[in-house]
Amino acid sequence: MAFDYKKEYPEFYLPPKKPGIVEIPEMNFVAVRGQGDPNEPDGAYKTAIGLLYGIAFTIKMSYKTNHSIDGYFSYVVPPLEGLWQQEGRDIPDYAHKENFQWISMIRLPDFVTKQEFLWAAQEASQKKKTDFSRAEFFTLREGLCVQCMHVGSYDDEPATLSQMERFLAANDYVTDFSGGRLHHEIYLSDPRRCAPEKLRTVIRHPVKRKLS
């Protein structure tokens, strides 16, 4: 049976609807950086997602090629994720999506080295006749975070963010967006096939202990 990161690591991908504290280890991703409204038809965000999945599935299906990846095992491609920011703000302003700066990404299995990533990018470029040079091998170590499962429309996320802030205040934590730490979302539902009110999104913020 294929290894499924969501099932094997539910503490990272399937948190409850109530906020909780979690320590996130270092992970590697295929990532594409960009800016602008993610809902823009044929915009930069849509293009980025195509690049991510192009490389992710090239690696997943590499066993069908002549290229052998050391340590390869059968797995389910992990969910799409995103790091989001807007200049001068830590918490997103959903009324001005055009100001978003984002890093869209998909987790890579540990057996994917930077060398294997470069092979996959070149292989995808040749097969799909598309430029994959914007995709990068991206390492992220988030450390201490608060996270919560948000169920509903992306535009309704402020209510969940408020719930997370109340939890932090009651437990002597504060958000910590220093050092490039960002608002993080993990998308467990496909918005093309799921009603907005049923969308499941993991929301994660970096935190630190409140100084007494």
pLDDT at 205: 98
DSSP string, the chain: --B-HHHH-HHHH---SS-EEEEEEEEEEEEEEEES-TTSTT-HHHHHHHHHHHHHHHHHTGGGSSPPPTT---BPPPPEEEEEEBTTBSS--TT-GGG-EEEEEEE--TT--HHHHHHHHHHHHHHHT---TT-EEEEEEEEEEEEEEEES-GGGHHHHHHHHHHHHHHTTEEE--GGG--EEEEE-S-TTTS-GGG-EEEEEEEEEEPP-
The reported pLDDT for the residue numbered 212 is 66
For helices 114-128 and 44-60, angle between their N-to-C axes, nearest 10 degrees: 110
- Asked whether 33 and 85 are in contact (CB, 8 A), the reply is no
The 10s digit of each residue's pLDDT in 171-193 is: 999 999 999 999 999 999 998 89
- What is the mean predicted confidence (pLDDT) over 112-135? 96
pLDDT at 89: 87
Give the confidence band of 1 by pLDDT, cuts at 50, 70, 90.
confident
Residue-wise pLDDT for 136-153, tens only, equals 999 999 999 999 999 999
The pLDDT, as a whole number, for residue 17 is 96
Mean pLDDT of the chain: 96
pLDDT of residue 92: 84
Tokens for 35, please give them. 């800016």
